Amino acid sequence: MRLLVNYPVLLLLIAAGAILSSAAPSYARSPTTLESSCATLFNDNLEQTRTPSQSCTSRASSRSETEAQISRVINRAICDGKIKDAVVLIGNSKGVIYEKGFNTNSKIDVSYDLASLTKPIATATAVLKLVEESKGKIRLDDPISKHVPVLKGKGLDKVTIGDLLRHRAKIAEIDATSANAWKGLSKDAALDKAALIIARETREHKPQLESFKYRDSAYVLLAELIQEKTGNYEGYVQNKILKPLGMTQSRFKTTPGDKLARSLKGSAGNAGLFSTAQDVARFAQIFLTDKNPVLTPASVHLMTEATSEDKSRFLNLLERLKIKSPTKFLMPGERPELHSAGFDLDPISLKGSFGEFSDKAFGHTGSSGTSLLIDPEKDIYVVVLTRNSMPTYTESQQKASSAAMSKIRSQVAQAGLELVNPKTAQPMFSFCHFSSDRKVGQIRHFLDPEDTSPGAENSSAVSGISSRAEQ
């Protein structure tokens, strides 16, 4: 029997496949770089399941054991397809304690899309620097409209600069769906247009809006403030923040993963900065020492502490939630928000539920897979830069990606405490939740039993490890 082939249809199918494959970049593992390490990781975890009494007991860890634990966390995430690669850097006030690249050809000076880490590193720091230099002409209690003429009388006259920095302003959120309004405009004009749309959406939806809610729009408005006062948002950040700190490998790019920032050519204020772990560490260290070439102690206090009113509100709401569900551990999305002028002051997704970090810890995350955690009391900072390769097109995918990244970040942070404070840190528990009924050499998605994220039951042989698309 002859097989009839419709060649025009076949050509169309081939072309469609090429378009789809080009639109979703593949991160297939190379046999020379990852297959052997994934197999080694599997064998290591398989051995742990055979000796649970030894591997699951909390005990003091040597430095080499702790470093090996960090490698397991990151390599496991790479082999699972959760991330493409990573650089981890851990340090304290004296300098770098640990740094290593994973799936980066041993390089650590790899540039990553910082995504929302742009907020504290670039935008918030630049706003506070601007306030310092104004010598009283610009204050955090001033309405944003006082310093941005296009916003006068547009409905934001009661929204202060401080409200925007601390994510407590009752404003509308916008995203890249509004980009047609500023398509083809210059960066300056595009920021003006975006600010006006935020104001308009705020006026139209004011009754439904909440205060004390994290929003990208807040930092778009702050970028507009910097642009208005200096004439160049990016230039001001480079000259006043990045250069003085020696962050020579940090720069803005016009094609960040964040769609809103990309539509504003990287100058949105909420995202757009690309950097290395070493540069992020230089920024982190100014919060652990007295040597700060950028900000005064008063500004550092604003970036690392909540107002008394905000803190009281947070603690009261948290107590109510605990009374309602006394046995439940409240996850990040279930907790009230508490922000300083730039950072998250309740970084549960970064430090986890171990209870080892102090109440002074603060940090921030980026949707691209980046994070920074700083604890002045414990004298530690933890930088985790990855390329998140989990799909985040739907709400369930976003939750799965967020949960996966939270687990990676908190486990690395706990190991970081062991490296910085080996005598006081609670040792990590080894990972014991791996099935031993797999054939040696077969790689699966190493997920804990309670993990129900998409793909939890999938497995693939070493010779054909599946690839995933990055957002």
Mean pLDDT of 224-230: 97
At residue 14, the pLDDT reads: 46
At residue 281, the pLDDT reads: 97
Which among 107, 109, 108, 103 is positioned nearest to 80, based on CA atoms? 103
Q: Give the chain's radius of gyration (CA, Å).
A: 24
> Mind giving me the DSSP string for 167-194?
T--------GGGGGGTTT--HHHHHHHH
pLDDT tens digits, 136-172 = 999 999 999 999 999 999 999 999 999 999 999 999 9
- 352: pLDDT strictly greater than 60: yes
At residue 232, the pLDDT reads: 96
Comparing 434 with 63, which gets the higher pLDDT?
63
> Which band of pLDDT confidence, cut at 50, 70 and 90, is reported for residue 354?
low
At residue 32, the pLDDT reads: 40
Please provide the average confidence, as pLDDT, over all residues in the chain: 81
Residue tagged 């560490």 (tokens): 281
Which among 259, 221, 255, 210 is positioned nearest to 367, based on CA atoms? 259
> Which range has highest mean pLDDT (199-203, 205-209, 394-398)?
199-203
C-beta separation of 269 from 256 below 8 A: no
- 212: pLDDT strictly greater than 90: yes
> Which band of pLDDT confidence, cut at 50, 70 and 90, is reported for residue 6?
low
At residue 441, the pLDDT reads: 33
- 470: pLDDT strictly greater than 70: no
Q: Is the pTM of this model over 0.75?
A: yes
pLDDT tens digits, 59-99 = 456 888 999 999 999 999 999 889 999 999 999 999 999 99
CA atoms of 248 and 56, how far apart (whole Å): 43
- 26: pLDDT strictly greater than 50: no
- 50: pLDDT strictly greater than 70: no
Please state the length of the chain: 471
- 57: pLDDT strictly greater than 70: no
Which among 407, 353, 382 is positioned nearest to 74, based on CA atoms? 407
CA atoms of 447 and 441, how far apart (whole Å): 17
CA-CA-CA-CA dihedral for 161, 162, 167, 168, to nearest 10: -100
At residue 219, the pLDDT reads: 98
At residue 330, the pLDDT reads: 76
Q: Is the dihedral of CA 456, 69, 367, 307 positive or negative?
A: positive
Beta bridge partners of 100: 88
CA atoms of 339 and 363, how far apart (whole Å): 10
Give the CA diameter of the chain: 88
Mean pLDDT of 223-246: 97
SS3 state of residue 299: helix
Q: Using N-to-C axis directions, what is the helix angle for 297-304 and 125-134, rounded to 10°?
A: 140
At residue 380, the pLDDT reads: 97
**Which H/E stretch holds residue 130?**
helix 125-134
* Domains of the chain and any CATH numbers: 112-275 (3.40.710.10)
Comparing 469 with 183, which gets the higher pLDDT?
183
Percent of the chain predicted with pLDDT > 70: 76
- 262: pLDDT strictly greater than 80: yes
At residue 141, the pLDDT reads: 97
Residue tagged 């809103």 (tokens): 260
Tokens of 451: 């993990």
- 3: pLDDT strictly greater than 60: no
